[in-house]
Chain A
Amino acid sequence: MSTPANFPGEPDSSPEIAREFGLAAEEWKRVLSTLERAPSYAELGVISVMWSEHCSYKSSRVHLARLPTTGPQVVQGPGENAGAVDIGDGFCAVFKMESHNHPSYIEPYQGAATGVGGILRDVFTMGARPVASLNSLRFGRPDHPRTPQLLKGVVAGIGGYGNCIGVPTVGGEVQFDASYDGNILVNAFTVGIAKTDDLFFGVAEGIGNPILYVGAKTGRDGIHGATMASAEFGEETDSKLPTVQVGDPFMEKLLLEACLEIFATDCLSGVQDMGAAGLTSSSVEMADRAGNGIELDLDAIPRRTKALSPYEMLLSESQERMLMVAKAGREQEVFDICAKWDLDASIVGRVTDTGRFVCKATPGYDPFDGTGEPDPVVVVDLPVDLLTNAAPKYDRPQRGRSDEARLFTMTGDGPEDLGAELVRLIGSPNIGSRSWIWRQYDHIVGNGTVIRPGDGDAAVIRAFCEDAGGSREKFLAISVDCNGRHVELDPYAGAAMAVAECTRNIVCVGAKPLGLTDCLNFGNPEVPEQMWRFSQAIDGLAAACSALGAPVVSGNVSLYNETDGKAILPTPTVAVVGQLEDPEHRIGLGFLSEGDVIAHLGRPSRGVLGGSEWLAQRSGSVTGAPVGIDLDAEAELQHAMLALAKKKLLRSAHDISDGGFAVALAESCIAYGHGAQVSLPSSEDAPAHALLFSEEPTRILVSLSPSHAGQVGDICARHGVPFEKIGTVTGQTVAIDGACEVPVEELAEAHASALDAIVS
């Protein structure tokens, strides 16, 4: 076999270029020994992106294997473009979450927009019509000079893409913390609906089948984006601008409609979107899953610029492109549907039985301007396996840390004016209303948004499931959660708390959790302390997913979230999809009726303030003893909550999380302008401020008609869950005995203007 050729102007590969492309010295040696020759320049590009952390999961794979991924409801677990869970009658919910952190920091609008575009493609590539999106955002401290620009840009980018393509953005979360000053997080989630029997997979099956390229033309944008996503930021970050892609949501809308129409004809054997590492990873992964090879004719790649080299075509991350494997002889059906939607489609290769990834191209030939004649030579010839299973895999060293230095001891008495503390807290950027954000998202397109942003602990959407038998309506609940502060203080319990909060939000709107997707945002895995956090968090996620009935069906890992050696808070974001048996089971978070009983469900507080927003504001750091979580008690609470919802015994339900008990109570009051008169729930002996603002998990605040109190108490007792009536919906103030009394209107004003200082 001859050595594939470099293109005119390309240097020979070398250890220096390998290092520049992100390969470690030992990885370069491994390339040489496996190939028994030096790679061509294009080959080195291909190997380096496929071996990047982003594509290969080389530091995380050994740990991810510990996550629970099975369950009777799981239709598709991790490894495909997205995961899927059964929602009955032959339909499934297809979902995934992905990070677009590094691009969004460099160019917030396009970085966030293309993050949304990418996750939408992952879902509709599976044959699902997207029905809703969420996002999880992290920014630096509110008064950091770049925070306003980043927040505005990211929100506009998410809205700009989602609003145009017409998939509602129905919820999300955002947190501000100094650890994200130089490394924001943008995690995007989409769920879609498909017929289970008609799911599509990323497999290059059928030797000789043609490979079709559909969608936008290839340019130079995003070259080596996956490698950028696998490196820390340093001072040279500004120079990475060309690695950010530009999104075209209109093109993606056409691609979405065309794809779903093409899938319905059954003329494809496989399909994959061109996401990170573009043409390279889509072809290699499809070949790998089928155990086949792929041969590409790069001369046939549709392009929008002159003189593209094989290296550039293979690594471009131009957006809105799909790779399809058609059944031989049925290409014309694809072309016809693409013509209807005004999309380009070309045959660019075929499936082979060689197990190799082979690319050909003609030096000096440029179809863009018609220069030269095609006479292709081999420019890439690599074993598929080298790029996938045989990619490096590391069990990197870990080092735990001593906790003593981290513990913050409050000295002196607590604050005197607890009412003022509550107003300040509920008006702060991490706690207050997010309406400035979600008003910029079309959260109702599709006529399916049943619980809108801010109205419940999770979004509830109606999905229209159509098949030959007619149309059925299914009701899904979706939520996304993580609090990196609790993960920082105790990676195992903090990660478990993220899952628990997310599934708790799902049951609080009356739905049963079905499955989970994660986006694991951490620092540099080569730093043993960071690797330890990651490993601990995986174990915490695994324990909570098992205990709370939410297997992991898809996900994404984002490492190297550091700038100049400073890591973000460990942020294992999770999103859960649940289903309501009956839409009449749905519950909002706001108190509805004067005279209703207010009750506390779940664990009595111990007044532990570790990781809380209140303590963070007070101390200026993430500190305190970790609050911990009892997963058995959490599971009992969530079972009880779901039983109460199904019996329609509650008027409102709101989980106690960020900001603690007092904030949850105030939010339930603000929703419809009702007041509350309550006493503090029973607790261990602790100061009032600790009981008001502790963020201990496993607690839900509910309201109910007085006539239902007996039944609610019985159901809680049956589940072994503490139930305590603490007061009444009444008046115009939030009045907590012995602690504070604040007018609802004052709280509402503070809540509504929480982001003003940043955005206006």
Chain B
Amino acid sequence: MRVAVLQFPGSNADWDALHAVRDVLGADAWYAFHKGTSLGDADAVVIPGGFSYGDYLRAGAIAGFSPIDHSVREFAGRGGPVLGICNGFQILTEMGLLPGALTRNAHLRFECRDIHLRVENEGPFTDMGRGKVLRLPIAHADGRYHTTEDGLADLERHGQIAFRYCTRGGGEPEGSDANPNGSVGDIAGLYNREKNVLGMMPHPERASETILGNDDGFALFTSLRRHLGFE
């Protein structure tokens, strides 16, 4: 299994993703720098977290115009699995590979803590079964997912909602801080229509080892490995 981890200026969880995929999962993995145009012979692509281009215009906005993006679009268009985490999710929405937008957290602060999320739909990264509750960390200031009412209905109709924020026991947040940023529909992660592109605000790559006190996130990477037929 071969994985390209994109590197934009300002990416800062690139190491986190590379470490999880290469050192913990055991895949071949490498950085693909934004000025290049080649993803090599990657089986999957990870767009890591960070502050690409400083997030100065809008989180993820400028990264959506990097030379490497052409290759990512082509790869995704061929059905290749792409995982965007945090800033990577923001970049995927700015590229138009995922619908909707990510805006400033409702409480306006950067927030880093563990939250719970529930698997809503199965896909390449989520074969752990609907209803499964994971504990994962978040670390973002712009994670409030927004789409129109029609857009939300569309996502539900096509089974694109991968994760929703939930309580520890899997219940609805019901306005509590179990939804940490005010995302519409408590959406924490989202597939494209074809379900090969996943964007999510929580960090599975930072919760993939017991030494870090939590390996719930590892399930996404083993799911991907199974999906690609490597086990």
Q: Please list the residues of chain A having a beta carbon within 8 angstroms of any beta carbon in chain B.
A: 156, 159-160, 163-166, 248-251, 253-254, 340-342, 435, 438-447, 449-450, 452, 462, 464, 471, 583
Chain B interface size range: 20 to 34
**Assuming A253-B9, A440-B110, A583-B211, is B16 touching A445 (CB within 8 A)?**
yes
B106-120 interface code vs A (CB 8 A; 1 in, 0 out): 000111110000000
Query: Which one of B52-60, B74-82, B148-156 contacts A?
Result: B52-60
CA distance A536 to B71 in the complex (A): 65
The reply to whether A440 and B212 contact each other, CB–CB distance below 8 Å, is no
| CA A447 to CA B24, docked complex, whole Å | 11
| B15 to A, closest residue via Cβ | A446
Contact A159-B9, Cβ < 8 Å, known A340-B35, A447-B19 = no
Bound form: Cα–Cα A598–B143 in Å: 43
Q: What A residues does B206 contact at CB under 8 A?
A: 444-445, 447
Query: Whole-angstrom distance between the alpha carbons of A166 and B16 in the complex?
Result: 11
Q: Are A439 and B35 in contact, CB atoms less than 8 angstroms apart?
A: no
In the bound complex, what is the Cα–Cα distance between A435 and B109 (angstroms)? 13
Identify 9 residue pairs between A and B in the complex whose beta-carbon atoms are under 8 Å apart, listed by A's number.
A163-B110, A250-B9, A251-B54, A253-B12, A439-B109, A439-B112, A440-B111, A443-B112, A445-B49
Contact of B212 among A165, A438, A449 (CB under 8 A): A449
Q: Is the CB of B51 within 8 A of A164?
A: yes
Instruction: Tell me, yes or no, whether B199 is within 8 Å of chain A by CB.
Output: no
Query: Does chain A have a CB within 8 A of B28?
Result: no
Give the Cβ gap from A612 to chain B, nearest Cβ, in Å: 31
Interface contact B15-A447, CB-CB below 8 Å = yes
Q: Does B211 contact A163, Cβ atoms closer than 8 Å?
A: no
Q: A440-B110, A440-B112, A442-B110 are in contact. List 4 more A-B contacts (CB 8 A).
A: A164-B51, A439-B112, A440-B109, A447-B206
User: Contacts of A251 on B, CB cut-off 8 Å?
Assistant: 54
Interface residues of B, Cβ cutoff 8 Å to A: 9-10, 12-13, 15-16, 19-20, 23, 35, 49-51, 53-56, 109-113, 137, 139, 141, 203, 205-206, 209, 211-213
A342 near B9: Cβ-Cβ < 8 Å: yes
Shortest distance between the CB of A574 and any CB in chain B (Å): 26
Q: When chains A and B are docked, how far (Å) is the Cα of A203 from the Cα of B203?
A: 42
Most buried by A among B55, B139, B205, B209: B139
Q: Closest Cβ of chain B: how far from A46's Cβ, in Å?
A: 33
Known: A250-B54, A440-B112, A583-B211. Contact between A164 and B12, CB under 8 A? Answer: yes
Q: Give the distance in Å from the alpha carbon of A443 to the alpha carbon of B12 in the complex.
A: 13
Residue picked from A166, A249, A340, A450, most chain B C-beta under 10 Å: A166
**A166-B50, A250-B9, A450-B212 known; A444+B139 contact, CB < 8 A:** yes
Cα distance, A163 to B51, chains bound together (Å): 8
| A249, B51: Cβ atoms closer than 8 Å | yes
CA distance A94 to B109 in the complex (A): 31
Interface of A is mostly: mixed
Given contact pairs A254-B9, A340-B35, A341-B9, A444 touches B50 in the complex (Cβ within 8 A): no
- The residue in A166, A248, A440, A442 that gathers the most chain B C-beta atoms within 10 A of its C-beta is A442
A253-B10, A464-B19 known; A444 vs B110 contact (CB < 8 Å):
no
Contact of B110 among A159, A341, A342 (CB under 8 A): A159
> How many A-B residue contacts, CB cutoff 8 Å?
87
B181 to chain A, nearest CB (A): 12
Q: List, in ascending order, chain B residues with CB within 8 A of A445's CB.
A: 12-13, 16, 49, 139, 206
Q: Which residues of B contact A342 (CB under 8 A)?
A: 9
CB neighbours of A249 from chain B (8 A): 51, 54
CB-based contact B13/A166 at 8 Å: yes
Judge whether B112 and A444 touch: CB under 8 Å: yes
Report B-chain residues with C-beta under 8 Å of the C-beta of A250: 9-10, 51, 53-56
Greatest chain A CB density within 10 A among B10, B13, B137 is at B10
| Chain B neighbourhood of A443, CB < 8 A | 112
Q: How far is the CB of B216 from chain A (nearest CB, A)?
A: 14
A441 smallest CB distance to B (angstroms): 6
A163 and B20 within 8 A (CB): no
- Report whether A447 and B56 are in contact in the complex, using a CB–CB cutoff of 8 Å: no
CB distance from B230 to the nearest CB of A (A): 22
**How far apart sit A452 and B211, CA to CA, in the bound complex (Å)?**
12
Least CB distance, A271 to chain B, in whole angstroms: 21
Distance of B9 from chain A, by nearest CB (Å): 6
B51, B55, B112, B203: the one within 8 Å of A441 (CB):
B112
**How far does the alpha carbon of A442 sit from the alpha carbon of B35 in the complex, in Å?**
27
Contact A447–B51 (Cβ < 8 Å): no
A447 and chain B: residue at smallest CB distance = B16
Q: Min CB distance, A260 to chain B, in Å?
A: 13
- Per the bound structure, the CA–CA distance linking A447 and B215 in Å amounts to 12
How far apart are the CA atoms of A340 and B213 in the complex, in Å? 37
Residues of B within 8 A of A462 (CB): 211
Within the assembled complex, what's the spacing in Å between the Cα atoms of A442 and B211? 18
CA distance in complex: A441, B139 (Å)? 8
List A contacts of B50 (CB < 8 A): 166
* Contact flag A447-B205 (CB < 8 Å), given A164-B12, A440-B112, A442-B110: yes
Q: Chain A: which residue is nearest B20 at the CB level?
A: A447
Residues on the B chain within 8 Å of A254, using CB: 9-10
B23 touches A471 (CB 8 A): yes
Smallest distance from the beta carbon of B47 to chain A beta carbons, Å? Answer: 15
Residue numbers in B under 8 Å from A583 (CB-CB): 211
Query: Which residues of B lie under 8 Å from residue A452 when comparing CB positions?
Result: 213
Q: Which residues of A contact B53 (CB under 8 A)?
A: 250
Given A253-B10, A254-B9, A442-B139, does the pair A450, B211 have CB atoms closer than 8 Å?
A: yes
Closest to A129 in B: B15
Pairwise interchain contact A442-B55, C-beta atoms closer than 8 A: no
Chain A minimum-CB-distance residue to B52? A250
Q: Chain B: which residue is nearest A450 at the CB level?
A: B211
Q: Which residues of B contact A471 (CB under 8 A)?
A: 23
Bound Cα distance from A325 to B90, whole angstroms: 40
Q: How far is the CA of A145 from the CA of B112 in the complex (A)?
A: 28
The CA of A164 and the CA of B35, in the complex, are separated in Å by: 21
Least Cβ–Cβ distance between A615 and chain B, in angstroms: 34
Distance between Cα atoms of A53 and B211 in the complex (Å)? 45
Write out the residue numbers on chain B whose beta carbons fall within 8 Å of the beta carbon of A449. 212
Q: Point out the residues of chain A lying under 8 angstroms from B211, CB to CB.
A: 450, 462, 583
Q: Which residue of A is nearest B141, CB measured? A: A163
Q: A446-B16, A447-B15, A447-B16 are in contact. Are A164 and B54 (CB under 8 A)?
A: yes
A166 to B8, CA, bound (A): 13
CB neighbours (8 Å) of A442 from chain B are 110, 112, 139
Residues of A within 8 A of B56 (CB): 250
What is the CB-to-nearest-CB distance from A433 to chain B, in angstroms, rounded to a whole number? 12
**Smallest beta-carbon distance B184→chain A, Å:** 23
* A450 to B212 CA separation, bound complex (whole angstroms): 5
Chain A's closest residue to B24 (CB) is A447
Partner of B12, one of A159, A165, A341, A438: A165
Shortest distance from the beta carbon of A81 to any chain B beta carbon, whole Å: 22
Bound-state Cα–Cα, A497 to B56, Å: 44
Nearest neighbor of B56 in chain A, beta-carbon distance:
A250
Contacts of A446 in B (CB 8 A): 15-16
Contacts of B110 in A (CB 8 A): 156, 159-160, 163, 440-442
Looking across the interface, which residue of chain B has its beta carbon closest to that of A167?
A: B12
